[in-house]
Chain A
């Protein structure tokens, strides 16, 4: 294109604009420029700034003094900060439980179930409750002698023997984790159902003809088909538990040892106005999250590769055996049905 003569240069440019290659480039630029700009503006730019802030002693307004790594040292020396980090373990357990539960429910609900739609709707709906409302709902729910205690008294617990769910430090973090599962399990489930449904249905038919049972279908068809979205959700839930914020913020405001890392950070950034320290906290947590993700990805890749290599031949054998058995049963059933039809016919004749 570049080597055309000057005389036909203009025309050839117009021709060039009609070529696929040019159109392709244009569409790629046109369709990705805005999202990339927003991504830069609200994610990577603040990220960069924050890293800068973390080396300063500063408020939102006023003078900034360079303090080096001092902010990072305080993360470890201040008990309230480091202790809050331990709380994320509770949320991690909750998050894993939530994903397993969501996968289980999604698998059930993508099979034939009576009232399946209603169940799906009911389990999903808490996701649509806004955070502030959720805060009020669960303050009410957990108050001593209120909703939860009443229900537990129906199944035989005595109200006086029940703990103060939000005040008792042995239990209050689990109570908060429960609210997080309550809210997000349905969302996970719907994402999983969506992914399961987008697996080619002819695979299920083939599997059924081959006599695969529900669990086998799950393991060999559903799970590989939705690996991407499950992996993404596991990554997001680890991130989520390290950065757990909402239950603690809206229900207890971080009181009685329920203040998660971000609730403490929020307090330091806004109430105490220690922007530098808050930034350092954020950067430190982001490093942790990044580390967790890398480790997780490595483990995942390793585990999946191993399982696949080992199982393939075994699975093939098993599937063949099952298919043969299923075929025999079908033939038998067919014969029986034929006999029955014949018998019925004779009866009617008689």
Chain B
């Protein structure tokens, strides 16, 4: 086996010293970066399983005595009212994602496929909007939300979050650029309307980009805490997963085993969705819509 591999490489003239150094550098950098990515999270998992006594007496990186001690998780879930928080976050996610996908792909389609007066203007308006940080505008946005009666309503927060997401529009446009216009043209010859072309032909081809944007926008929405805190002030009924963690500030501020458990709970849904979607994100991007 080893010999046959070697001979293959000889034919491909790859095995120079530089190549070997490159391989080492490559893997070293990947492992090094991954280590620092994982450590803050691992330390949290370790601490989440510790009892109060254990947490106070052992080093933070010492594994807990009992990996099945779920008491902290139960306490954290109960104290931060996370059941309701998950329900609210799910509703928000569903509507925001559906809305922003429809809006984003449609706009990208129009901007990429048609030349019309105002095309460049619209692109510039969106690019310029990307420069304006949301938090800066919040002082005035608050007044507008107030005038519209959108404060303390899930729908108000949903419409605000659906708004303008320049990164996804860019991603869609980039994908459209790689989908041949010949597809549209042949469909037009067959008598298809623009809406048919968009929904039946282009949208399925856009799936990888949509999946990518679902992850990005979904993460952004699930994790958003600033606007949620500001516009969903009634924490009893309108908490989201992110804002429910605010419960742990204050008197509970140094019970890190409890806090870590809460943090892990809030991260787990993201982790599960990520593991499921991960394949479609990578495969979708790798396969590309161009080949279709």
Tally of contact residues, A, Cβ under 8 A: 102
- Residue pairs across A and B with CB atoms within 8 Å: the count is 272
Q: In chain A, residues 177-217, which have Cβ atoms closer than 8 Å to a Cβ of chain B?
A: 182, 185-187, 190-191, 193-195, 197-198, 200-201, 214
Residue B171 interfacial (CB < 8 Å): yes
Which one of A104, A137, A182 lies within 8 Å of B263 (CB-CB)?
Answer: A137
Q: Chain A contacts of B195 at CB under 8 A?
A: 27
Bound form: Cα–Cα A125–B37 in Å: 8
Residue of A nearest to B273 (CB): A128
Which one of B107, B262, B270 lies within 8 Å of A31 (CB-CB)?
Answer: B107
B37 and A122 form a contact (CB under 8 A): yes
Residue B72 interfacial (CB < 8 Å): no
Residue A236 interfacial (CB < 8 Å): yes
Residue B11 interfacial (CB < 8 Å): yes
Which one of B131, B159, B216, B275 lies within 8 Å of A289 (CB-CB)?
Answer: B131
Which one of A34, A187, A190, A262 lies within 8 Å of B135 (CB-CB)?
Answer: A262
Which one of A39, A129, A229 lies within 8 Å of B129 (CB-CB)?
Answer: A39
From known contacts A182-B36, A198-B178, infer whether A150 and B144 are also in contact, taking CB-CB under 8 Å. Answer: no
A39 and B139 form a contact (CB under 8 A): no
A236 and B130 form a contact (CB under 8 A): yes
Q: Chain B contacts of A28 at CB under 8 A?
A: 110, 114, 116
A137 and B40 form a contact (CB under 8 A): yes
B136 and A265 form a contact (CB under 8 A): yes
Bound form: Cα–Cα A121–B274 in Å: 9
Residue A293 interfacial (CB < 8 Å): yes
Which one of B11, B160, B174, B245 lies within 8 Å of A195 (CB-CB)?
Answer: B174
Bound form: Cα–Cα A151–B46 in Å: 14
A266 and B144 form a contact (CB under 8 A): no
Q: Chain B contacts of A46 at CB under 8 A?
A: 137, 139-141, 143-144
A39 and B125 form a contact (CB under 8 A): yes
B285 and A31 form a contact (CB under 8 A): no
Bound form: Cα–Cα A191–B11 in Å: 35
Q: Chain A contacts of B94 at CB under 8 A?
A: none
CB of A106, distance to nearest CB on chain B (Å)? 11
Bound form: Cα–Cα A282–B131 in Å: 12
Residue A49 interfacial (CB < 8 Å): yes
B132 and A43 form a contact (CB under 8 A): yes
A290 and B33 form a contact (CB under 8 A): no
From known contacts A60-B143, A125-B274, A150-B59, infer whether A194 and B131 are also in contact, taking CB-CB under 8 Å. Answer: no
B22 and A214 form a contact (CB under 8 A): yes
Which of A137, A235, A242, A286 has most B Cβ within 10 Å? A137
* Residue positions of B touching A, CB distance < 8 A: 7, 10-13, 22, 26-27, 29-30, 33-34, 36-41, 43-44, 47, 59-61, 103-104, 106-107, 109-111, 114, 116, 122, 125-126, 129-133, 135-144, 159-160, 162-164, 167, 170-171, 174-175, 178, 188, 193-195, 198, 212, 216, 219, 222-226, 241-243, 245-246, 248, 256, 259-260, 262-263, 266-267, 270-271, 274-275, 278, 281-282, 285-286, 288, 290
Listed from nearest, the 6 A-B pairs whose CB atoms lie closest are A130-B223, A46-B140, A31-B106, A243-B133, A282-B136, A49-B140
14 contacts between A and B (CB under 8 A): A23-B194, A24-B194, A31-B106, A49-B140, A105-B29, A121-B278, A122-B38, A123-B33, A124-B274, A132-B245, A137-B263, A197-B288, A262-B133, A336-B10
User: Given A128-B271, A151-B61, A191-B171, 12 more contacts at CB 8 Å?
Assistant: A31-B109, A36-B125, A50-B140, A128-B219, A130-B267, A132-B245, A140-B60, A150-B60, A245-B135, A262-B136, A285-B133, A290-B131
